[in-house]
Amino acid sequence: METKQTVQPVDGEEVEGLDAEGGSWGDYPIDDILIRHENRTIHDVIRRIDQSNYVIDPDFQRDFIWPEDKQSKLIESVIMRIPLPVFYMAEDDEGRMVVVDGLQRLSTFQRFVKDELQLKLPDRKELDGQRFSELSSKVQNRVEDCNLIFYIIDAKVPERARLDIFERVNSGVPLSRQQMRNCLFMGDATRFLREEAQTDIFIEATGNSLNRQTMRDREFVNRFCAFQLLDVDGYRGDMGDFLAEGLRRMNKMGIARLSKLSTELRRGLTNNLELFGRHAFRKHRPEQDTRSVLNASFWDVMSTGLSRYEEERVKASAAAVRCSIYALLTDEKFNTAITYGPNDSSKVRTRFRMTRERLEEVLGDYAA
């Protein structure tokens, strides 16, 4: 018997129609996991960060900053020459190094050397209250010359393997897969996800039910974009790879196409709200009062499907569209495709095909 997929991460968020990403390490050929190591001084690393060769995601700098007493302890360890744990980086398609593990430590080094951190070390009077510029030249050199060991995940490593490595080595606050993608594909794509997830129409359409801290809201925008831009028939059963490819495609698109994508998303949200109100993207019956949980797989087909029709057209046929979608929700084959093992490629194609057929019966051919 298949198991219904419901995810409940944190803060009461509950989402249906999701499969856990990731898989067995036995899936990867041993020689495909390419990781090299480099030694860099703190001075060299900060220079590379300033030149944008080492990428520190500003979203994480804002949301996951260490308290200053913990940052101070790290600087004290450097001054005392206590060996530090290794750092992990992921090389992106442009040759930049994206911080995988060690974000807080690198941010701390950067803040301290730039005099943005005043040490809080009450048990060490010679350092307590000091900024970098106030230290003796000897101690400053000791900080800047501190040798750091970096392990670098090659850009050629398969996408899911990179995320699995990311998840395994991260020693700080556990990151969601979407947060990892946000690090690895920073650019126009991730800015688009952030901006669209903050719009009033998105928040209303999703009932403000998606956790922002874990970037579940951005994951839903990511899902829309991937299915809107990529051929569903090309989906091969790995949702993580599919979402990553969507971001990769978006980073290569111009502003005009991204603007068009934004219009399409908002049109899809508006049409779903017009038809189903607070029950949008949730499995429900016409007479249902209580609101069900969001279903990610239902989101995929309805957000993209109704993005292809002008709002007036949907409004004019609202009763007929609702009737057709309610019939679809009672169809056992469709319900299985959005509920049980929903990342399976045959189920993805099934739910998209069935939704398209229902919408075309009422509204006509999809818009180009």
CB-based contact 34:161 (threshold 8 Å):
no
Has residue 79 been placed in a domain? yes
Has residue 169 been placed in a domain? no
Q: Is residue 8 predicted with pLDDT exceeding 50?
A: no
Has residue 171 been placed in a domain? no
Question: What's the confidence (pLDDT) of residue 176?
Answer: 81
Question: What's the confidence (pLDDT) of residue 12?
Answer: 47
The mean per-residue pLDDT over the stretch 183-189 comes to: 86
Identify whether residues 111 and 238 lie together within a single domain.
no
Residue at a domain's end among 107, 141, 156: 156
CB-based contact 195:255 (threshold 8 Å):
no
pTM (two decimals): 0.77
User: Tens digit of pLDDT for each residue in 126-155?
Assistant: 999 999 999 999 999 999 999 999 988 888
Has residue 173 been placed in a domain? no
User: Tens digit of pLDDT for each residue in 70-103?
Assistant: 999 999 999 999 999 898 888 877 788 888 778 8
Structure-model confidence comparison of residues 81 and 169, the more confident one = 81
Identify whether residues 225 and 275 lie together within a single domain.
yes
Identify whether residues 321 and 236 lie together within a single domain.
yes
Number of structural domains the chain divides into: 2
Identify whether residues 103 and 222 lie together within a single domain.
no
d(CA 274, CA 266): 12
Quick count: other Cβ atoms within 10 Å of Cβ 110? 19
Identify whether residues 148 and 230 lie together within a single domain.
no
Identify whether residues 220 and 244 lie together within a single domain.
yes
Question: What's the confidence (pLDDT) of residue 25?
Answer: 47
Q: Number of C-alpha atoms within 13 angstroms, CB side, residue 333?
A: 9
Identify whether residues 125 and 226 lie together within a single domain.
no
Identify whether residues 191 and 89 lie together within a single domain.
no
Structure-model confidence comparison of residues 164 and 276, the more confident one = 276
Has residue 180 been placed in a domain? no
Q: Is 148 helix (H, G, I), strand (E, B) or coil?
A: strand
User: Tens digit of pLDDT for each residue in 288-318?
Assistant: 889 999 999 999 999 999 999 999 999 999 9
Structure-model confidence comparison of residues 221 and 184, the more confident one = 221
Place of tokens 């996951």: 64
Has residue 28 been placed in a domain? no
Identify whether residues 274 and 202 lie together within a single domain.
yes
Q: Which amino acid is at 348?
A: V
Residue at a domain's end among 156, 174, 203: 156
Q: Is residue 180 predicted with pLDDT exceeding 90?
A: no
Q: Which domain holds residue 54?
A: 34-156
Identify whether residues 201 and 297 lie together within a single domain.
yes
d(CA 100, CA 43): 20
Q: Is residue 2 predicted with pLDDT exceeding 80?
A: no
Place of tokens 């899902």: 223
d(CA 221, CA 265): 8
Identify whether residues 11 and 87 lie together within a single domain.
no
Q: Is 174 helix (H, G, I), strand (E, B) or coil?
A: coil
In Å, how far are 150, 175, 266, 285, 358 from 182, measured between CA atoms? 21, 10, 22, 36, 35
Has residue 29 been placed in a domain? no
d(CA 328, CA 358): 8
User: Tens digit of pLDDT for each residue in 333-357?
Assistant: 999 999 998 999 999 999 999 999 9
User: Tens digit of pLDDT for each residue in 219-278?
Assistant: 999 999 999 999 898 898 889 889 999 999 999 999 999 999 999 999 999 999 999 999
Closest C-alpha to 201, from 217, 189, 188, 222: 217
User: Tens digit of pLDDT for each residue in 41-54?
Assistant: 999 999 999 988 88
Contacts of 115 (CB under 8 A, 6+ apart): 131, 132, 133
Identify whether residues 248 and 277 lie together within a single domain.
yes
Contacts of 110 (CB under 8 A, 6+ apart): 46, 49, 56
Question: What's the confidence (pLDDT) of residue 52?
Answer: 84
Torsion of CA 269, 272, 278, 279, to 10 degrees: -130
Contacts of 182 (CB under 8 A, 6+ apart): 57, 59, 190, 193, 215, 218
Q: Is residue 7 predicted with pLDDT exceeding 60?
A: no
Residue at a domain's end among 156, 171, 198: 156
Structure-model confidence comparison of residues 96 and 174, the more confident one = 96
Number of H-type helices and E-type strands within the chain? 17, 8
Phi, psi of 231 (to 5 degrees): -75, 120
d(CA 367, CA 365): 6
Has residue 168 been placed in a domain? no
